[in-house]
Amino acid sequence: MTANATPGEGGQGLTERVRRFIDHQVIPAEREIETDPEVLAGLRAAAHAAGVFAPSAPVEYGGMGLSMREQADALEEAGRSLFGPLVMNCAAPDEGNMTLLEHVATPSQREQYLRPLATGDARSAFAMTEPAPGAGSDPAALTTTAVRDGGDWLIDGRKWFITGADGAAFFIVMARTGTDAATMFLVDAGTPGLSVGRHIPTIDAGFTGGHCEVVLERCRVPSSAVLGEVDRGFANAQVRLGPARLTHCMRWLGVARRAHEIMLGYVVERELFGSRLADLGLAQHLIADNEIDIAASRSLIRTTAVTLDQRGRANNETSIAKTFVSEAVGRIVDRSVQLCGAQGVSHDLPLARFLAEVRPFRIYDGASEVHRWAVARRAVRRYEAARSGPATPG
């Protein structure tokens, strides 16, 4: 990956603005945000006033229209609070769905579905994952079906672990429409045949609307509900998946940075064995490893973001970034917990919560093992293609 990762003009000013907003308005109100909807509404209004609302959404729909490279810094700062992306309207799954709708939806679909997402008046869900043996890490295992019925479509299937499903205004549903083909459909909440089931208990709790079971039983939608082209669902989903993986990396790197900062505040004050914890060699080793992981993660994110801006796709780069950053974030938070000792595992500090929230990231948006497999296959294909190419003239 050799793309230029120099920040765009004016990017530093935005980064500082987001940092101040998160530090001075969101972090002090974190407990209230989780329990009081009025606090969230007030902070969203404050985000509008501060010029940091909806950084990923297109300008024509009320967003900031930032490039991926510009989002890299803004979303990292937003992620320093678990609630920052929610307040700023750049949280998953809505942020990824905005990208998909911007590039794939018809003008009328964008007006009906993208606009309320961008303004924060609605939430959404992306319904692809299914219970075994259905689609998970392997989308080709998709079992949900959609068949034509006159001018409509009938969708049948069971979805599982659908993030944000409880309270979503609409769902983007992936369904099989041929032996090797799938189609995405826009399905409004309340459509007969669509039901949201139980919240699946998980170690993380930071996603509004939970991770839910969703059932579709002869769920009838009109042909206008097709998102993108019929039978092009798998290809069109790539518009969302790569950028969404990278924006996850941006937000979670912010969480890791916050954990690192909390730990630094602890180790410079804690005294034991006749010196500050920060001055002990073993502690310095962990601190240095955190600094290295943060710097490497940020570099991968920025370079991949520029590649996405330039090419529109960066499948290999996003797989590499997602694998490294998801694992680096876990290491950073874990080291921070370790250095804070009993304080780290207590709820007097937010580190234990951070640890629970970041662990699933190695599974969400493609498990590390799946991404490694994809990276290895691409490397082998590149090597074989180069080896079988025309011989260089002597």
Instruction: Return the CATH number at 136.
Output: 2.40.110.10
Same domain flag for 162 and 82 = no
pLDDT over 60 at 8, yes or no = no
What's the pLDDT band for 389 if we cut at 50, 70, 90? confident
Same domain flag for 171 and 288 = no
Tell me which of 208, 227, 246 is where a domain ends. 227
Contacts of 235 (CB under 8 A, 6+ apart): none
Q: Is residue 5 part of a domain?
A: no
How much is the average pLDDT of 86-99?
Answer: 97
pTM metric for this prediction: 0.93
Same domain flag for 163 and 188 = yes
Mean pLDDT of the chain: 94
Tell me which of 119, 143, 161 is where a domain ends. 119
Q: Is residue 1 part of a domain?
A: no
How much is the average pLDDT of 57-85?
Answer: 97
Same domain flag for 267 and 381 = yes
Amino acid identity of 80? R
Same domain flag for 382 and 334 = yes
Same domain flag for 178 and 251 = no
Pairing of strands 211-222, 226-227: unpaired
Q: What is the spatial distance between Cα 250 and Cα 298, in angstroms, rounded to a whole number?
A: 8
For the stretch 287-310, pLDDT in tens is: 999 999 999 999 999 999 999 999
Exposed (0-12), middle (13-18) or buried (19+): which is 390, by Cβ within 10 Å? exposed
pLDDT over 90 at 206, yes or no = no
Q: Is residue 393 part of a domain?
A: no
Same domain flag for 193 and 267 = no
pLDDT over 70 at 2, yes or no = no
The SS3 of residue 309 is helix
Same domain flag for 152 and 103 = no
Q: Is residue 31 part of a domain?
A: yes
Q: Is residue 276 part of a domain?
A: yes
Same domain flag for 187 and 322 = no
How many degrees, rounded to 5, is the angle at CA 244 between CA 110 and CA 188? 40
pLDDT over 90 at 114, yes or no = yes
Same domain flag for 269 and 361 = yes
Instruction: Return the CATH number at 96.
Output: 1.10.540.10
pLDDT over 70 at 349, yes or no = yes
The SS3 of residue 172 is strand
Please state the domain count of the chain. 3
Same domain flag for 99 and 150 = no
Same domain flag for 63 and 135 = no
pLDDT over 70 at 86, yes or no = yes
Q: Is residue 6 part of a domain?
A: no
What's the pLDDT band for 136 if we cut at 50, 70, 90? confident
Residues of the chain with pLDDT > 90: what percent?
Answer: 92
Q: Is residue 75 part of a domain?
A: yes
Per-residue pLDDT, 57 = 97
Range of the domain at 95: 11-119
